[in-house]
């Protein structure tokens, strides 16, 4: 009836005059680009005014953006923290300004009373899922593994390494022989993989690659092919994100497995903010998104088609 309509319009009006600042890391990977696209769409769908900052993967730029949002008097701040440390001061400033901060897709070492909630996957579990797939694929034959790590000091790089290595314990035939950061980018993933190939008998001694994200895996696939080896066969490839180009590689048998990460962290974040703004509802400190394994058996060509238009 009219009361419900009044309440709805009031809610919309409430959300409509809300402004949020989004301190995004950058556009280092296809997944990051998709997260930005989805976040802007989720804000628009809710009638929110989104102010966007791309930090070019520099923490000091994210901190400056947060300070600018505080000066603008925004109603909330979304932060995808490039690294896990160094946030206490600026988060304290947001708290003193009574501006709620919601973390997206990465975690911080700061005390949890310095942010309203964090939306993201269980990053340790992602590493466990990747290792479990590789253990199943390799069986008990010796397997020398190289690892492309994410951005040094970021929670995904730390946690995805931890989960993978913990799961390999007890499977002594599987050994991580080289591990180095490729900073989550295709270019650096290719560059570091080239050095791994050279150091490992032209790649003949490498059994598998574990990449902390698909973009580094896609770069590595290029390097493996240029070394005259067959990615997905001579060197097994398991990574994380579930971006279209990884599904494309799997459909061509050039990659073997990926752990999907949803780019829609903003939906749960904005829902939590809505409830908080409306009546002070406090969300849980961690809102976990799911992690699903995809292999060549899971219609990779179809998954590519379903994802390619989503802003990656």
Minimum CB separation of residue 34 from ligand GZL in Å reads 9
HSE value, Cβ hemisphere, 13 Å, CA-based, for 85: 3
Report if residue 124 touches ligand GZL, rule: CB under 6 A.
no
For ligand GZL, what does the binding mask look like between residues 188 and 217, x meaning CB under 6 A? -------------------------x-x--
Q: Please state, in angstroms and rounded to a whole number, the distance separating the CA atoms of residues 247 and 257.
A: 9
Report if residue 258 touches ligand GZL, rule: CB under 6 A.
no
Report if residue 156 touches ligand GZL, rule: CB under 6 A.
yes
76-79 sheet: strands from edge to edge: 49-54, 19-24, 76-79, 101-104, 117-121, 286-289
Report if residue 220 touches ligand GZL, rule: CB under 6 A.
no
Report if residue 28 touches ligand GZL, rule: CB under 6 A.
yes
HSE value, Cβ hemisphere, 13 Å, CA-based, for 105: 23
Q: Please state, in angstroms and rounded to a whole number, the distance separating the CA atoms of residues 86 and 96.
A: 18
Q: How far from each other are the two terminal CA atoms of the chain, in whole angstroms?
A: 42
Distance of CA 168 to the CA centre of its chain: 22
Minimum CB separation of residue 236 from ligand GZL in Å reads 20
- Contacting range for ligand GZL; rule: CB under 6 A; set: 29-37, 93-101, 137-145, 275-283: 29-37
174-181 sheet: strands from edge to edge: 174-181, 143-149, 208-211, 236-241, 257-261, 291-295
Name which of 31 and 210 has its Cβ closer to ligand GZL. Answer: 31
- Contacting range for ligand GZL; rule: CB under 6 A; set: 26-34, 43-51, 109-117, 174-182: 26-34
Report if residue 182 touches ligand GZL, rule: CB under 6 A.
no
| Residue 51: partners with Cβ closer than 8 Å, 6 or more residues away | 19, 20, 21, 22, 69, 72, 74
Minimum CB separation of residue 31 from ligand GZL in Å reads 4
What is the per-residue DSSP string for 173-192? Answer: TEEEEEEEE-TT-HHHHHHH
Minimum CB separation of residue 265 from ligand GZL in Å reads 8
Report if residue 120 touches ligand GZL, rule: CB under 6 A.
yes
Q: Which structure tokens are listed for 115?
A: 């942010």
Report if residue 283 touches ligand GZL, rule: CB under 6 A.
no
Report if residue 31 touches ligand GZL, rule: CB under 6 A.
yes
Name which of 150 and 231 has its Cβ closer to ligand GZL. Answer: 150
Among 33, 261, 269, 272, the residue binding ligand GZL under the rule CB under 6 A is 261
Report if residue 69 touches ligand GZL, rule: CB under 6 A.
no
Residue list 291-310, contact with ligand GZL (CB under 6 A)? none
Place of tokens 């060549």: 296
Name which of 47 and 311 has its Cβ closer to ligand GZL. Answer: 311
Q: What are phi and psi of 169, to 5 degrees?
A: -55, 135
Report if residue 29 touches ligand GZL, rule: CB under 6 A.
yes
Helix/strand/coil for 287: strand
Name which of 197 and 240 has its Cβ closer to ligand GZL. Answer: 240
Exposure string for 224-238, b = 16+ CB within 10 A, e = fewer: beebebebbeebbbb
- Contacting range for ligand GZL; rule: CB under 6 A; set: 1-9, 16-24, 25-33, 93-101: 25-33
Report if residue 32 touches ligand GZL, rule: CB under 6 A.
yes
The Cβ of residue 170 has, within 10 Å, a number of other Cβ atoms equal to 8
The binding site for ligand GZL (CB under 6 A) comprises 28-29, 31-32, 105-106, 120-121, 156, 184, 213, 215, 240-241, 261
């Amino acid at each position: 009836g009219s009361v419900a309509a009044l309440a709805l319009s009031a809610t919309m009006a409430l959300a409509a005059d809300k402004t949020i600042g989004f301190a995004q890391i950058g556009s280092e990977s296809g997944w990051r680009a998709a997260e930005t696209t989805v976040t802007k769409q989720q804000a628009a769908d809710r009638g929110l005014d989104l102010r966007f900052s791309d930090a070019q993967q520099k923490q000091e730029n994210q901190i400056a953006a947060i300070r600018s949002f505080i000066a603008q008097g925004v109603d909330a701040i979304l932060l995808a923290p490039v690294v896990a440390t160094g946030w206490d001061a600026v988060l304290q400033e947001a708290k003193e300004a009574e501006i709620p901060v919601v973390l997206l897709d990465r975690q911080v070492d700061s005390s949890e009373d310095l942010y309203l909630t964090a939306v993201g996957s269980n990053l340790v579990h992602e590493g466990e899922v990747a290792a479990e797939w590789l253990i199943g694929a390799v069986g008990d034959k010796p397997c020398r593994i190289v690892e492309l790590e994410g951005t040094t000091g970021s929670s995904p790089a730390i946690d995805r390494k931890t989960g993978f290595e913990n799961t390999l314990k007890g499977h002594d035939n599987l050994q991580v022989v080289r591990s180095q950061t490729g900073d989550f980018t295709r270019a650096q993933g290719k560059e570091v993989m080239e050095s791994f190939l050279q150091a490992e008998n032209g790649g003949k001694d490498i059994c598998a690659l574990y990449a902390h994200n698909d973009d580094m895996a896609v770069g590595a696939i290029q390097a493996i092919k240029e070394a005259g080896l067959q990615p997905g066969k001579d060197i097994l490839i398991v990574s994380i994100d579930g971006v279209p180009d990884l599904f494309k590689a799997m459909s061509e048998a050039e990659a073997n497995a990926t752990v999907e990460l949803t780019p829609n962290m903003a939906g749960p974040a904005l829902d939590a903010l809505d409830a908080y703004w409306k009546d002070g509802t406090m969300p849980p400190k961690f809102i976990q998104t799911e992690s699903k394994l995809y292999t060549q058996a899971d219609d990779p060509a179809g998954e590519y088609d379903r994802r390619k238009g989503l802003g990656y």
